[in-house]
Structure formats: structure tokens, C-alpha cells
Amino acid sequence: MTTTNEFTASTKTGRLADFVDSRVGASGMVKEFGRKIFPDHWSFMFGEVAMYCFVLLLLSGTFLTFFFDPSMAHVVYEGSYVPLKGIGMSTAMASTLDISFDVRGGLFMRQVHHWSALLFVASLSVHMLRVFFTGAFRRPRELNWVVGGVLLIMGLAAGFTGYSLPDDLLSGNGLRIIDGVMKAIPVVGTYLSMFFFGGEFPGEHVIPRLYSLHIMIVPAVIILLLVIHLFMVVTHKHTQYPGPGRTNDNVVGFPVGPVYAAKAGGFFFIIFGIIAMISGLVQINPVWNYGPYDPSPVSAGTQPDWYIGFVDGALRLMPGVLGNFSFEWNIPFPWGSNTLVLSVLLPALVPAGALFAVMFAWPWIERWVTKDNREHHLLDRPRNAPFRTAMGAAGVVFYSVMWAAASSDLIATHFHVALNDVTYWLRTLFFLGPIIAFWLTRRICLSLQRKDREIVLHGREAGIIQMSPEGGFSEKHEEIDVYKRYLLTSFNDNKYIPAQPDAAGHISRKEKRRAKISKFFFEDRVAPVTPSELEAAHAAHGHHEVEGDKQDSIEK
């Protein structure tokens, strides 16, 4: 007779959980992940909003796939929407109309899907901006920053491929731009267009191919990137804002289970409720008003979704000629001449390429300029990194000008101004806007740092006017508490680092360039208050307070 001390659960659910755990070892993973600490700050919620929007995209998209037919076969519409009855269109457009008018809840699910897509890209963009402005991309999170950048690009790809599926007049104009960009590529451009569209534009196969990308390949890549991103967050631990008790070696916050998990679950249903309310009340993408796509007419006032607008805006800003200089070059080849249309290729590829190239390379650029290779788990206040904040503001303005240019025709018609004037102003802002934004943002950050320095040394203005023994009047200052003082003085003080010689005593050209950039960024800076400066300020204020008390006693 043998005895065993093996645990036996008393409930059916417990026995099932014990059965699964004994075979896959899930309890260890759950226990380890459940103990992970996450800081509790509102700015960390943007990443969660993006993840919850993606979940809603998957759920609503699954519903729509049951009814959408991604075919470009020609049919005559005989559905419920009377104004389009008897009109020829593609099967994709007809099925979109059927979802909108004949499937119960179809229009609501379409709008949930579209609004979730817009908010997914928006929250992901704001999350990336938060990471950039607070310096959360620094070592050891450089690769996670790259993963986030690729995730943003895939979000744009998911939005564009889904936006084009209804085959309506608005989305067809967007595909026409893609066709033009492809054909502007010399030698291979026409072949790429014929392959992508399945013949001469609009072809017969572009909608099925975009559908495959939209429901399989792009979502699979996004899910993979999300898993990698969350794995790196758990591996590197979460960043946190500076404060008493918070160091590079700990995380102050709540564990995943049960506190954070419960809050995250509630937050998901809040996001779902808000998107459902917007989808039920605010109409978006009414394809029945646009009608089926017809490549023969040219439509005015067409715009893509906001996240793709910057590419369209860049195309509108690009001139065809500058004086006598033409941006169309005929390149001779043995088989004949091919036209290189730089007026299309440059705005379609260079601005977006430059924006994403600088974004991906920034962690290494900043590490090279500052020579700071330490691990960073504490975040920066944007004002305490003036050069980084100024560069971020310049990038936002650079993007925003192109984004506004996508609406140049609507700006002209709504404000009753000439379209050419709008274009000239936007072209000027395209070059001067980022420079002005950089200079202005940097000066604002330095001014805020000086304000913080004055508050630490002299305290806050109390609003009480007092008279000195000499008869002068001044405002009384109140000393700030220790916690606030810590926040205002605890930050990285990046200094200008001159060119450093190598082991052989030589200074390379690369090092000289780094020194010039470092001087440009850090020569004008505000250093944090040192303990000796704080002690001297307290001593001076103590002397003034004693003199004031003496004067008060004399007056009494």
C-alpha cells in the first residue's frame, strides 16, 4: 500500500485547471507574469488604447468577412439602396452596399471597423510620440523602438488596404495615385503596375490581392510585432517617471494580477463603449454617396484617411517645373527612352522615407551625440531634453504641413482664397515650419527649465507683498516641498562634449562632426540646481526672513 501527498482539487474547474497545468506548466508563467509591476500613469494608456482598438478591428473585421465578396466582376446593383439601383459596379462595391443596407447590424459593424482603424493609428502615433519625447527609446529599448516603428508602418498598410476594398469612387482615386507612383518608376514601373492591378489600371485583380493582404498577411505581421513588443516590455521592465523611491533598478506601481488586470479589463470596455457610441452616432465613409469607381471622371475634394494624407499632401506640394528646370527626365536606353518623373517619385518616397529613417535611427543618433551608453529606465520630462523635444516638434510640423496640403483644395474653397496662394504658403511652411518649430520649442524648453531653477532656489510666489527695513516692497516666496524639489532637480544634464581623440591621438572627421552637433545641441543649456547652490539660496532666504521678523516686531 502506497500513499501520496499529491494535491487534488475539490471543484470541477480546479481539477480541469490542475490537469492543464500538470501538462503545460502554465502556473509558473502565470505566476511570473502576474507579479510583474506596471507603473500607473495616464500617459502609458495610449499603447493600451492601440491594443484594444486592434482587438476591436479583429472582431469587427471577422464579422465583415462573412458578407464581403472581394471580386471585381461586373454586376448590376439590385439591392435596397434605390438611388443606385440598376447601376453597374463591381461585386465588391455591391457587397459593401449589401452589408450597409441589407445585413442586420452591418452598417454599425462597418463603422466600428473604420473608427477603430482611425483610433488605432492615432493612439499608436501618440504612443510613439510619448516614447520619443520622454526618452523611453534609449538603451536597452532601441530594438523595441524599431519594432514600434514597423508596427506603425504596418498600421498604415492595414488602413490603406482596407480603405481601398469597397471599390467606391473615393478609394479608387487613392489607387489611381498608387498606380501613378508605380508608373513613375523607370524601366520596371509599368510592369509593377500591371502585376499589382492585374492588367491596365484599374485591372481585375487588385481588390482580391488587397483583401488577402488586409485580412491575412498584414494582421499576422501586426500580431507578431505586438507579441514581440510586449515580450520586450516584460523583459526590460517598464519605464517610469522620476520621483522619490524610483530608480533605474526598481519599478513602482501595481502588479498585473489582480489590480492591473482588473483595471485593464475595465479600460477595454470603456474604449469599446466609446467607439460603439461614435460608430452609432457619427457617420463615416458613406460609399453610397460616392458611387462605384469609374476611372474616367476626375473628382474634386477627394481625401484619404488622415494617416495617409501626408503622402498625398507631398504630391500636391511638389512643383512640376522650377523656372526652366523640369523634374521629368528622359533617360536613353538601348531599347529606347524611359521617363524619370521626379515630380512624382520625390514627394512620394523622399519625405516619408526621411521621416521614418530619422525616426528609426534616432536612438543611435542621440547615443552617438551624447556618448551616453548607460541603461535608462527613468523617463525625461520633455523640457529637460530641449534638443530632443525640439527635433520632435520639428518632425510633427513637417508631417502636419504635408497633412494640411492634402486638403489644400478644401482650404481654398472653405476660406474663399486662391488655391495657388494656399499652395505657395504651404510650400514655404514645408521648409521654414520645421526650423521655426525647432527654434521656438527649444527656447520654450530652456525657459521652462530656468523657471524650474528659480522655483527650486527661491520658492513659489505666495502672493503676499512685504516691505523690507529699507522701505522696499517684494513678494514673499514659499519654499516648495521635498518631493517637488526632487522632480525639478533630478534629470540628466547633457553637456557639450568636445571632439575626443582616439587611442592613437587622432581626431577623426566623424568625431569632429559629432562635436559640432553636440555643440549645437548642448552649448545653450540650463544645468540642474546643485546641492551647494540650494544650500546657499536657503541661507540667503533664512537671513532675509530673520530681517523681516525683526522689522515685524519693531512695528508691533
5, 219 Cβ separation under 8 angstroms:
no
- How close are the terminal C-alpha atoms of the chain, in Å? 97
Sort residue 207 into left (φ over 0), alpha (ψ -120 to 50) or beta.
Answer: alpha
Q: What span, in angstroms and rounded, lies between the C-alpha atoms of 174 and 295?
A: 11
Residue 136, pLDDT score: 95
pLDDT of residue 549 exceeding 70: no
> What is the residue-averaged pLDDT of the chain?
87
Please enumerate in sequence order all residues whose Cβ is within 8 A of that of 411, keeping only pairs 6 or more positions apart, or say none: 404, 417, 422
Residue 221, pLDDT score: 97
pLDDT tens digits along 231-240: 999 888 889 9
Q: What distance separates the 2 farthest-apart alpha carbons in the chain?
A: 104
Q: What span, in angstroms and rounded, lies between the C-alpha atoms of 290 and 323?
A: 38
Residue 36: pLDDT band (50, 70, 90) is confident
Q: What span, in angstroms and rounded, lies between the C-alpha atoms of 401 and 426?
A: 7
Residue 552, pLDDT score: 46
What is the rounded average pLDDT of the residues 308-321?
Answer: 89
pLDDT tens digits along 360-375: 999 999 999 999 999 9
pLDDT of residue 258 exceeding 70: yes
Residue 551, pLDDT score: 45
Q: What span, in angstroms and rounded, lies between the C-alpha atoms of 442 and 452?
A: 15
pLDDT tens digits along 114-165: 999 999 999 999 999 999 999 999 999 999 999 999 999 999 999 999 999 9
User: Which range among 241-255, 332-346, 373-387, 447-461 shows the weakest confidence by mean pLDDT?
Assistant: 332-346
Residue 542, pLDDT score: 61
Residue 241's CB is within 10 A of a number of other CB atoms, namely 16
Residue 259, pLDDT score: 79
Residue 298, pLDDT score: 67
Q: Residue 550 is inside which H or E element, if any?
A: helix 531-555
User: Which range among 278-287, 416-425, 440-449, 478-487 shows the weakest confidence by mean pLDDT?
Assistant: 478-487
Q: What span, in angstroms and rounded, lies between the C-alpha atoms of 275 and 115?
A: 7
Q: What span, in angstroms and rounded, lies between the C-alpha atoms of 366 and 497?
A: 13
Sort residue 142 into left (φ over 0), alpha (ψ -120 to 50) or beta.
Answer: alpha
Q: In the chain, what percentage of residues exceed pLDDT 70?
A: 94
Per domain, the residue ranges of the chain are 41-290+299-380
Q: How far is CA 484 from the centre of its chain?
A: 30
Between 24 and 405, whose confidence is greater? 405
Please enumerate in sequence order all residues whose Cβ is within 8 A of that of 307, keeping only pairs 6 or more positions apart, or say none: 118, 121, 122, 125, 155, 156, 159
pLDDT tens digits along 464-495: 777 777 777 777 778 888 888 888 888 888 88
Residue 405, pLDDT score: 93
150, 97 Cβ separation under 8 angstroms:
no
Residue 555, pLDDT score: 46
User: Percentage helix, strand, coil, to 5, in the chain?
Assistant: 65, 10, 30
Between 3 and 305, whose confidence is greater? 305
Residue 550, pLDDT score: 45
Q: Residue 299 is inside which H or E element, if any?
A: none
Q: What span, in angstroms and rounded, lies between the C-alpha atoms of 397 and 436?
A: 9
The highest-level CATH class for domain 41-290+299-380 is mainly alpha
Residue 261, pLDDT score: 83
Among residues 155, 151, 152, 131, the alpha carbon closest in space to that of 141 is found at 131
Residue 556, pLDDT score: 46
What torsion, rounded to 10 degrees, do the Cα atoms 27, 30, 36, 42 define? -160
